[in-house]
């Protein structure tokens, strides 16, 4: 579904990603972990197409197409979804209005039927149950005045409505209390099927108690420093990131390459 080859990316002239290689197949759940500044959020944003990040080398193939040539909105319509670490407030545009627009754009793209406000309301009501969101959130402006937890749940609701092929959750667990974390994780698990893939970007192992990954990739200094199964996350929890970042520096000096998983 997704193949990342030797991806290098910079923001404001600083190189953040320094050669990422990664293969993701449908049905898989991947966790990308790493210390602050290792490049894990940058990877998520580059995949979603944030204009502030410049890809300087490498390629990303998504379902046979060159992803990096696709504008942000086209990527989304082709099934890529990123849940934001800091969801943006959009004053003056209601949640329901926004979601219907996004939903219909995707329907149009697929040549499927668009929904009118009433039909969409029913769909929204049903999907909102997944993240236990109250109907009153639908008429409010997108994320405006939402608490941190409400914003994160709203991201998962958007995901539930848009049904992406590849979902990237960028630090979705940050700022969530344990109850909200359970609700969000439960939503993500229910949305994960054999036909789609999910990338969970997180600093902490905590989330992975609820969302169990098939693969764990640990980033350090813009490269994948270590890969393994779900047990790698537990090892990290125990030992911290230090042993990996140190090993990574040594590894980098011997010009080692990361192993593609898939």
Partner 1 sequence: MISEATKSQGSYQNAFQTLQANGAGPQRVPWIERLRESAMERFEQLGFPAVQEEEWKYTNVAQIVRAGFLPLTATGEVSAAVGEQQLAAFTYPEARASQLVFVDGLLRSELSSLTGLPEGIKAVDFATALASDPFSELLREYLGRIVDYGDNGFTALNTAFIGSGALVVIPKGLAVETPLQLLFLSSSTKANLAAFPRVLVIAEENSSATIIESYNSVGADSYFTNAVVEIVLKDGARLEHYRVQDESTESFHIANTRADLGRNSSYETTSINLGAKLSRHDLSVVMDHEGAECRVDGLYIIGEGQHTDTHSVIDHKQPHCTSHQLYKGILDGKSRAVFNGKVFVRHGALGTDANQTNKNLLLSNEAHVDTKPQLEIFADDVKCAHGAAIGQLDEDELFYLESRGIHSDLARNLLTYGFAEEVIVRIKVESIKTQLDEAVLNRLHARLEA
User: Which residue, 88 or 194, is less far from partner 1 as judged by CB?
Assistant: 88
Residue 98 near partner 1 by CB under 8 A = yes
Residue 76 near partner 1 by CB under 8 A = yes
Q: How far apart are CA 48 and CA 203, in angstroms?
A: 19
Q: How far apart are CA 56 and CA 17, in angstroms?
A: 9
| Distance of closest approach, residue 3 Cβ to partner 1, in angstroms | 21
H-type alpha helices, 90-206: 95-110, 117-130, 136-139, 148-162, 178-191
Contact with partner 1 (CB under 8 A): which of 4, 124, 133, 162? 162
| Distance of closest approach, residue 109 Cβ to partner 1, in angstroms | 7
User: Which residue, 18 or 75, is less far from partner 1 as judged by CB?
Assistant: 75
Which residue from 97, 235, 56, 54 is spatially nearest to 226, judged by alpha carbons? Answer: 235
Q: How far apart are CA 254 and CA 34, in angstroms?
A: 21
Residue 140 near partner 1 by CB under 8 A = no
Which residue from 84, 76, 66, 62 is spatially nearest to 163, judged by alpha carbons? Answer: 76
**Which residues are within 8 A (CB) of 239 and not within 5 positions of it... i.e. 6 or more apart?**
none
Contact with partner 1 (CB under 8 A): which of 141, 174, 209, 245? 141
Residue 229 near partner 1 by CB under 8 A = no
Contact with partner 1 (CB under 8 A): which of 58, 87, 187, 213? 87
Residue 152 near partner 1 by CB under 8 A = no
User: Which residue, 58 or 79, is less far from partner 1 as judged by CB?
Assistant: 79
């Amino acid at each position: 579904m997704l193949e990342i080859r030797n991806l290098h990316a910079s923001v404001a002239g600083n190189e953040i990603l320094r050669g990422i290689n990664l293969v993701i197949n449908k049905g898989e759940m991947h966790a990308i972990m790493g210390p602050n500044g290792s490049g894990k959020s940058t990877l998520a944003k580059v995949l979603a197409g944030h204009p502030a990040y410049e890809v300087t080398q490498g390629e990303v193939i998504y379902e046979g197409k060159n992803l990096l040539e696709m504008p942000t909105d086209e990527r989304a319509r082709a099934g890529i979804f990123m849940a934001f670490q800091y969801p943006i407030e959009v004053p003056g545009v209601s949640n329901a209005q926004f979601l219907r627009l996004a939903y219909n754009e995707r329907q149009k793209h697929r040549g499927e039927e668009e929904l009118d406000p009433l039909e969409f309301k029913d769909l929204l009501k049903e999907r909102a149950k997944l993240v236990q969101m109250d109907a009153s959130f639908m008429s409010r402006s997108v994320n405006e005045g939402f608490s941190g937890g409400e914003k994160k749940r709203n991201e998962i609701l958007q995901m539930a409505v848009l049904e992406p092929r590849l979902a990237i959750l960028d630090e979705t667990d940050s700022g969530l209390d344990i109850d909200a974390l359970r609700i969000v994780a439960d939503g993500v698990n229910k949305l994960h099927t054999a036909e789609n893939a999910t990338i969970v970007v997180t600093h902490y192992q905590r989330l992975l108690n609820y969302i169990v990954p098939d693969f764990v990739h640990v980033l350090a200094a813009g490269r994948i420093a270590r890969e393994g199964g779900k047990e790698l996350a537990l090892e990290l929890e125990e030992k911290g990131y230090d042993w990996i970042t140190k090993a990574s520096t040594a590894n980098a000096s011997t010009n080692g390459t990361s192993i593609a998983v898939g």
